[in-house]
Amino acid sequence: MNWQSGLRIGIDVGGTNTDAVLMQRRVVRATYKAATSYNVSDGIIRAIETILAQAGEDVSAVQCVMIGTTQFTNAFVERTHLQRVGIIRTALPATKGLPPLLDWPADIKAAVGGHVAMVPGGYQYDGTSNSALDERAIANAARNFKAAGLRSVAITSMFSPVNGDMELRAEEIVRNEIPDAAVTLSHKIGRLGLLERENAAIMNASLADLAKRVVQAFRDALIKLKINAPFYISQNDGTLMSAAHVEKYPVLTFASGPTNSMRGAVYLSGEQDALVADIGGTTTDLGVLTGGFPRESSMTSDIGGVRTNFRMPDILALALGGGSIIRADGKEPLQIGPQSVGYRITEKALIFGGDTLTATDIAVAAGYADIGDRSRVVGLSADVVRDAVALMHGRIAEGIDRMKTSAEPVPLVLVGGGSILVSQELAGISRLIVPDHAAVANAVGASIAQIGGESEGVYSYAVTGRDAAIALAKQDAVKSAIAAGADPDSVEILDIDEVPLAYVPGGAVRLRVNAAGRLRLTADLQAARP
């Protein structure tokens, strides 16, 4: 049976809620939303049991499970569950004046770093050697890491996305000294910029133990439910990766939550090119859809105060959600957020018998949302309600203006549990769309995600020619997607990014190509099974 005609489960484990959907072809068979449990495995089990019971289906009918999670993002931002990392940079004599962890916040630098080795090595932009790799220095560094009790190592080499051989050789040397080490190679994660790529590698290495625990929790949940189907985890570009890949590269899940919501918005609304507002309990995440995929950020991304350069969606987060606290004492100007009651909205908001005025209370009092007990907000000042409604819509309109690249009106798709906050027309919007099942768009996005691949390199158009260089880059991206588990017949090129390198001779251009295709479910993917 074609897996796409069978049952697929999409789950999004967020910091506030765990959402789940049961999908068959393009039909949403059942949905689930509940507060995220302390034990992630228990929450997943409860979600799957609920949606299968709703649909009257047995676990044997499930053909694939896709999971999105914020566990790794939250751990890094909150400085929890991180491990110390041994850091090796092969780039001397270059980069000596800019050591690793240079601009990291002091608290996270203390939690993660401190053991750094800078050794000769690395390449130039065209893949030629910068200096010979000092293998003895790497072996000495590995022995020092082992003596310090370190079991996670990040290795970065200059221009390694162009030529990763020195990082691969450094890994061999480290494993000779520390056989059980978790080793992160920067060229597997980041892009050409050395410091940002190195930061991403160190971040990833600091999450190595947590990645194994989280993935095992997912695996245990499916085993306990007797679901004998592959499971995949969504990454931040809207595509999927295997559980084994997540254990190696947990940072690739960063920002997968907003990305899943945007992909779910495409699926539920049918809009390929639009703005998306994912309104949750605390924030509104605004993004742009281009050809059905989130617009990629062209800037370095800041995660917990650390700059990185791996692929991330272009997201604008506004401090406005369904649980945002309203302050209106009549003395100071009315204020919404940034504080929020978050997942406690059902006990804190006025409409649920609480004592805190929230954005959801305002929506109910204004008459355009029907949730909770409206009688509890009938006594609110009409001026407060009017001003709060205007402020909420004004804040979203301002965010929309910041995300648009032209003055032309565009569609806006509203998703997330807080989508009830918007009721009025917004400037710059051609039409407002709230699709069915908007509250669980993130889980829908996880369930329909594709397998992606990327290639990046520096090419000399003077030597290779533009057409030939682009053809090679496309070929590499397609191979990458197929290797990750995409059906070869379905892989398509999503975008091509050309950046001329003005100060490099020979007409050098940095080419980055993204490709994606449908998940291939065949015998060679059995390693993905729990």
pLDDT tens string, the chain, 530 residues long: the values are 344 457 899 998 876 778 999 998 778 999 998 877 777 788 899 999 999 999 999 988 898 899 988 778 777 876 778 999 999 999 999 888 889 998 898 888 888 977 999 999 988 876 778 889 999 999 999 999 999 999 999 999 998 887 888 999 999 999 999 999 999 999 888 777 888 899 999 999 999 999 999 899 899 999 999 998 888 888 877 788 888 888 999 988 887 888 888 989 998 999 999 999 998 887 888 999 988 888 877 666 677 778 887 667 888 888 888 889 999 877 778 998 888 887 788 889 999 999 999 999 999 999 988 999 999 999 999 999 999 999 999 999 999 999 998 889 999 999 988 888 998 888 889 999 999 999 899 899 888 878 888 887 788 888 888 999 999 999 999 998 888 778 898 898 988 888 776 556 667 887 888 888 887 764 334 344 34
Domain range list for the chain: 1-80+207-254, 82-206, 318-440, 449-528
Read off the tokens for 259. 């990305």
Q: Other CB atoms closer than 10 Å to residue 136's CB: what's the count?
A: 10
What helix, strand, coil percent values describe the chain, rounded to 5?
40, 30, 35
CATH class for the domain made up of 82-206: alpha beta
Q: How many CA atoms lie within 13 A of 309 on its CB side?
A: 14
- Helix (H) or strand (E) segment spanning residue 483: helix 466-484
* Residues present in the chain in total: 530
- Helix (H) or strand (E) segment spanning residue 306: strand 306-308
Q: Other CB atoms closer than 10 Å to residue 8's CB: what's the count?
A: 22
CATH number of the 1-80+207-254 domain:
3.30.420.40
Ramachandran sector of residue 176 (left: φ over 0; alpha: ψ -120 to 50; beta: rest) = alpha
Separation CA 296–CA 314 (nearest Å): 5
**Which pLDDT value is given to residue 300?**
66
Neighbouring residues of 501: CB distance < 8 A, sequence distance ≥ 6: 125, 458, 508, 509, 510
Helix (H, G, I), strand (E, B) or coil at 401: helix
Pick from 125, 118, 110: nearest CA to 154: 118
The backbone torsions φ and ψ at residue 266, rounded to the nearest 5 degrees and listed phi first, read: -60, -50
Ramachandran sector of residue 455 (left: φ over 0; alpha: ψ -120 to 50; beta: rest) = beta
**Which pLDDT value is given to residue 298?**
67
